[in-house]
Every structure is written in C-alpha cells, then in structure tokens.
Structure 1
C-alpha cells in the first residue's frame, strides 16, 4: 500500500478542484483502451476501438494502461479548459519532457523517433501532440462530455458539502474506493508495493475523475501541489448520446444546453463560459442573451463583467431533463 503523509500545513492547504479537468479525463480514458477496465466503460471502449486506434499511437504510448504515464500531460496547476491546458502541456520545459520520457521508457522500452524529438522539445512534434490531444477529445470525449462533466460536478458538490458541513476528516474519509483516511495519512490500499510519500507543506488537490480506473492516480511534482485523482461512482448509460439530455439539446440547441449545464455548477461570467465551453466571446454573449430572453437565466453586471446564473425556470428545465 501507499501512504500519503499530510502535515498540518498540508491539511490547511487542501483544495477541492474547481471543475472537471479535461486532461486528467483524456489520459485516464486512453489508459482504458488497452485493458479490461470496469464493465461500465465497455460500450464506450468498443466504440472507440471500432473507430480505429492507429491514429492515437502517440497518445497511447504516453499513457500506457498500467503504471506510470507522462506527468507533463496533466499539469500540476490543473485546468478546466482543454485548449488552455494543452497550451500548458506544450510549454513544458525541456528538462521535464526529457525526465518524464526517460521514466516512461524504463517502464515501456520502445524506440520511436518522435519520442526522441519530443524529449528534445522539437516544435513540430509538440504541435503534433497538441493537435492529437484535441482530435482525440473531439472524437471520443466531446460526444458524451455534458454527461461526463455532470457526473464529476455531482461528486465535486458532494465532497464540498461534506467539507463544509462535517470538516476535513469526514471529507477525506468519504472519498471511498481504495482511498482510506488514516490520519495523518491517506492510504491507497490497492497498490502492490509499499511506499511512503510526503507532501511536505505543498498542499493537496482533490480531483475526482470520471475515467479513472478502479484505482487512484497521483501527481507528485516537486514544488507543486500534490494531486490526488480518484474514481467517481457512475450512472449507467452515460455513453448513450440518445439519452434524456440530448432531448433538451433538440429543444433549445446543443450550445445553449451546455451553457445551462455549466451554470448549474455555479454562476459564470461571459468570459468564463466562453473559456470553459470553448466558444468565442461573441457566441457566448449571443447564447446568454437568448437564454436570458427565454427566462432561463438571469444576468447582472459586476464591474466590467456580466455574471450569469440559472433562473428558477432554467433550473427546473435542466432538472427535468
């Protein structure tokens, strides 16, 4: 088992992630492609494999099904925006690229020219990696993203409620699965080796992940907050793009449905919505105007920004669907 030792300073610096992290989901979903994994991912995995895996060779090499994956794919700063996160990945310093790829090579020895180029920080190879990450997300995650994000948001809301109502001990004890809180350490009982990890005052980020295996991933980068990414409980049928959620899209449009879903997790400015949903500022403004005129959201100016919130009617419509 692994024991993650938390000091008093670490416990004071515990943070719950603000939202789903698309890069953690992307990496965890890649790991699912080459192993059995939980049954609930079976239909999705079959669909991806039938579409062909050859084009994702680079990504699958960087995210093997078991063990270590390239740390630079999930920046310790975290991200709620895919493109901003990919830009952060592409800015990874060369020593970090080299170190991560050497570690990966020791686990999965393969001689690939692009890996050597990537370790050297070759601009063209980095651009190819960024394009591949976007293409994979568009092809295999985006079709079900609203449901994926909704389920992670529910878990984030759950742990926040426990933290606010019952405190840190109860919140850490509630993570469940293979994560056990045995103060002052988080214990990962399903790890086959014995290991002690020390956060050393850096603090820890609690990041629920939809595609995490029945396991828990950690990111331990010196000088950065420690990240604990753990699996959530899932609702059946999430992979079906013809579920109730898509009927709401048929009525008000896909983008407006995504705006409502985003606002269900808290008020957002127009700029926030544009960033999170990957929209232009003009499109985000146009969609919020239409939703406001339909009585589904409310908007108020705060300084130079406009803050949007679900109206009672919008909340009722979203809840019904």
Structure 2
C-alpha cells in the first residue's frame, strides 16, 4: 500500500491533469504490450501494434531500448516520465533529453539492481555521447506507433474521467475528489491509502499532488519512485475497449428496445450521469429512467456507483462494444 500524507496546504494544491500525459501513456503502454493483461481492453491494440511493428523495422528498433528500460513489473526510471503539465509531448521529450548525468546514474543504477542491463545503457550518462538523444527519438517514434492511431479514443476516456473528477470536486470539495478515487484508493483523512504493490509512505509536505488519469495504466495506480520529485499519482480510467463488436442501430434497438438504446448511448457519449440527467436526456419520467437503468445494469451494460448523495451510471465495456464505441 502507498500511503500519501496530506497537510491542509496540500489539500489546497491538488491538481488533475486535463489531457493525457503522452510519456506516462507510453510507459504504461509498453508494459501492457509485453503482457496479456486486459484482453478485452487492450487485445485489439496489442494485435494492431504487433502487426505494425512486423512491417516497420525502424519502429521495432525504436521500441527495443524502451522495453529494456521499462519492465512490465518493478522499478521504472523516473526520468522517462517528467512531470510536465503543459506543452504536450515535445516539452516532455525535451525534459527527458536534458536529464542530468547525476540523475541518470542514480536511476539506472537502481534499475540495474532489479534486472541485468545491456552495455549500451551505461552510455546514456557518459559526457559527449548522444545516446540520450537517440533514446528521446525512440520515445517519439514509439509514441507514434503505440499511441497516435488511438489517441482520439484515449483523449475521450481521459476527458470523461476528468469530468467525473470535476463533478466530485464541485459537489463535495477536495475530500470528495479524493474519495472518488475508489476502488483504487481510499481517503482516510489526512492519508490517501492507495492500492500499490509495495508498502510506501509519501509525505507531500506542502507540495500538493498532481492526479494523472491514464488509459494504459492498469488495475492500480502508480507513482514516481523518487519521493523528492514533484508528487504524482497516475491512476487507471474506465476503459473503452479499442476493439468492439459491431451492431447496427436497428438491430440494437430490436435487442434492447428504443428507450434502453437511447439511455445506453447517452451514457456512452457523455460519461457518468445521474438518474435525473438520464431521464432528462432521454425525455422520460424519473421512475422509468430508474427502471431502464436497472435493466441495463442487470444485463452488465452499465455500472452504477454512489458519489455522496448521487448515484451515477456509466456504460461498461460490454455496453460500449454493443454500441461500436
């Protein structure tokens, strides 16, 4: 478990990244590529990426050093995911390119404690060597291969999550925002208890916390290993599968009925919604909305969760597949 300790000043300095963080998505994506995790969520993406790599030797070569530095489990060097909140990929790559030799030496030595490293890794922190520039170009090319074709879907998933966090903050303040991180974390003031593979204590000490929603983060949140760096918590968002079963609109309406199809489509398009919001969007009475939502929930097409005094509903991966989203 990761226990993040807040002060009153930290509670005033919580931020949520509003756009996907390309380098965090890439690092998490490399981890997902080398495993079988999330067959529904990532299966089509893995197959597509591997097919593309088979046809593109340059992309294959670019990915190899990343797979060396980014193991599927365990320590990953922090310099690969600089904490930039603006400027996108270009700014992040420049931060990686300008990593100090002292930091590279420290982080690569820690990585070497957990796995054997090829000789080229030691060249990354040698003066006058352009290996770090080569690595940066590999990061850029791998972003194009692993992420770029799927970026609109990733942005949609992140946008839906940011809207959910914003609603929690507006309805209940920072405590509600942190509590809404369930089931990945539990807010037990003044400590956020995070599902984590090792036991760690992180004291924010007035630095605040940047929450980074991530599509390719899987099962549980992750964070920077170095506690002296700007505190970041990367957490998985609700997944919209990158492969979906196709169904015609008419066929889906015959299967579900027109009203339930409208309700499901509204949730898929707009993210988590309350029963009242669904009733208004579908132009049906509140009791009817409750009934239709119950039927969809029993069929596994939506999920419902309580946030304070509200219950919000969202489409599940199965519901999205039916809608070809």
Question: Normalization by structure 2: what TM-score?
Answer: 0.69
Q: What does residue range 211-290 of structure 1 map to in structure 2 within 5 Å?
A: 211-219=216-224, 221=226, 223-236=228-241, 238=242
CA 1:58–1:78 in 2, change beyond 3 Å: closer, same or farther? Answer: farther
Q: Contact (CA 8 Å) 1:21, 1:80: kept in 2 or not?
A: no
CA distance in 2, matches of 1:80, 1:167: 28
**2:182 is the alignment partner of 1:181:** no
1:177, distance to aligned residue in structure 2 (A): 3.1
Which ranges of structure 2 fall in alignment gaps of 5 or more residues?
55-59, 248-269, 271-324
1:31, distance to aligned residue in structure 2 (A): 0.9
**2:102 is the alignment partner of 1:101:** no
CA 1:142–1:185 in 2, change beyond 3 Å: closer, same or farther? Answer: same
Structure 1: which 4+ aligned runs deviate by more than 3 Å? 52-55, 77-80, 220-224
CA distance in 1, matches of 2:86, 2:47: 28
User: Which structure has the larger Rg?
Assistant: 2
Aligned residues: 242
Q: Which deviations, in whole Å up to 9, do the C-alpha atoms of 1:103-152 show, x marking residues without a partner?
A: 11111122x23211113255421121111111111122111111111211
CA distance in 1, matches of 2:172, 2:127: 47
CA distance in 1, matches of 2:128, 2:186: 42
Q: Which deviations, in whole Å up to 9, do the C-alpha atoms of 1:70-117 show, x marking residues without a partner?
A: 10011123445112210111011111111111111111122x232111
CA 1:81–1:162 in 2, change beyond 3 Å: closer, same or farther? Answer: same
Q: Which stretch of structure 1 is more off in the superposition, 148-157 or 47-56?
A: 47-56
Secondary structure (helix, strand or coil) at the match of 1:186 reads strand
CA distance in 1, matches of 2:207, 2:129: 32
**2:8 is the alignment partner of 1:36:** no
CA 1:109–1:78 in 2, change beyond 3 Å: closer, same or farther? Answer: farther
Q: Contact (CA 8 Å) 1:209, 1:229: kept in 2 or not?
A: yes
Q: Where does residue 2 of structure 1 map in the other structure?
A: 2
Q: Contact (CA 8 Å) 1:220, 1:227: kept in 2 or not?
A: no
CA 1:4–1:174 in 2, change beyond 3 Å: closer, same or farther? Answer: same
CA RMSD of aligned residues (A): 2.4
Which ranges of structure 1 fall in alignment gaps of 5 or more residues?
244-263, 265-320
Q: Contact (CA 8 Å) 1:56, 1:136: kept in 2 or not?
A: yes
Secondary structure (helix, strand or coil) at the match of 2:147 reads helix
Q: Contact (CA 8 Å) 1:76, 1:221: kept in 2 or not?
A: no
Q: Contact (CA 8 Å) 2:62, 2:141: kept in 1 or not?
A: no
